[in-house]
Amino acid sequence: MAGLGGVGHLRVLNPEPGLYAYYDGRVPGYRFIEAPNWVDEGAISLGTASYALVAGDEALVYDSHVSVAHAGAIRAHLEGLGVRRFTVTYSHWHLDHVAGTAAFAGAPVIANVLTLRHLAAHRKAVEDATYHGLPAINPLILPTETFEGHMAFEFGGERIELIAANIHSDDAALLWLPGRGVLLAGDTVEDTVTYVGAPEDFAIHLRDLEKIARLGARRIYPNHGAPERIASGGYGGDLLAATARYVSWLQSLAARPEQGARDLADVVAQDLEAGTLIYWREYEAVHRQNVEQTLAHFAGRA
Q: Which is nearer to Zn ion, 60 or 66 (CB)?
A: 66
Q: How far is the CB of 46 from Zn ion (least distance, A)?
A: 8
Q: How far is the CB of 249 from Zn ion (least distance, A)?
A: 22
Q: Which is nearer to Zn ion, 24 or 96 (CB)?
A: 96
Question: Beta partners for 52?
Answer: 20, 61
Query: CA–CA separation, 94 vs 180, rounded Å?
Result: 28
Q: How far is the CB of 190 from Zn ion (least distance, A)?
A: 8
Q: How far is the CB of 62 from Zn ion (least distance, A)?
A: 12
Q: Which is nearer to Zn ion, 187 or 191 (CB)?
A: 187
Q: Which is nearer to Zn ion, 191 or 260 (CB)?
A: 191
Cβ neighbors of 296 (< 8 A, separation 6 or more) are none
Q: Which is nearer to Zn ion, 146 or 169 (CB)?
A: 169
CA–CA–CA angle 254, 261, 279 (5° rounding): 110
DSSP strand pairing (58-62 vs 109-112): unpaired
Chain positions contacting Zn ion, by CB under 5 A: 96, 187
Q: Which is nearer to Zn ion, 171 or 187 (CB)?
A: 187
Q: How far is the CB of 93 from Zn ion (least distance, A)?
A: 10
Query: Alpha carbon 253 to chain centroid distance?
Result: 26
Q: How far is the CB of 238 from Zn ion (least distance, A)?
A: 21
Q: What is the number of other CB atoms lying within 10 angstroms of the CB of residue 99?
A: 28
The secondary element (H helix, E strand) that includes residue 264 is: helix 264-267
Q: Is the alpha carbon torsion for 234, 237, 240, 242 positive or negative?
A: negative
The secondary element (H helix, E strand) that includes residue 102 is: none
Instruction: Classify the phi-psi angles of 210: left when phi > 0, otherwise alpha if psi is within -120 to 50, otherwise beta.
Output: alpha
Q: How far is the CB of 195 from Zn ion (least distance, A)?
A: 7
Query: CA–CA separation, 301 vs 120, rounded Å?
Result: 31
Strands (E), 178-258: 182-186, 219-222
Phi, psi of 180 (to 5 degrees): -110, -15
Q: Which is nearer to Zn ion, 48 or 294 (CB)?
A: 48
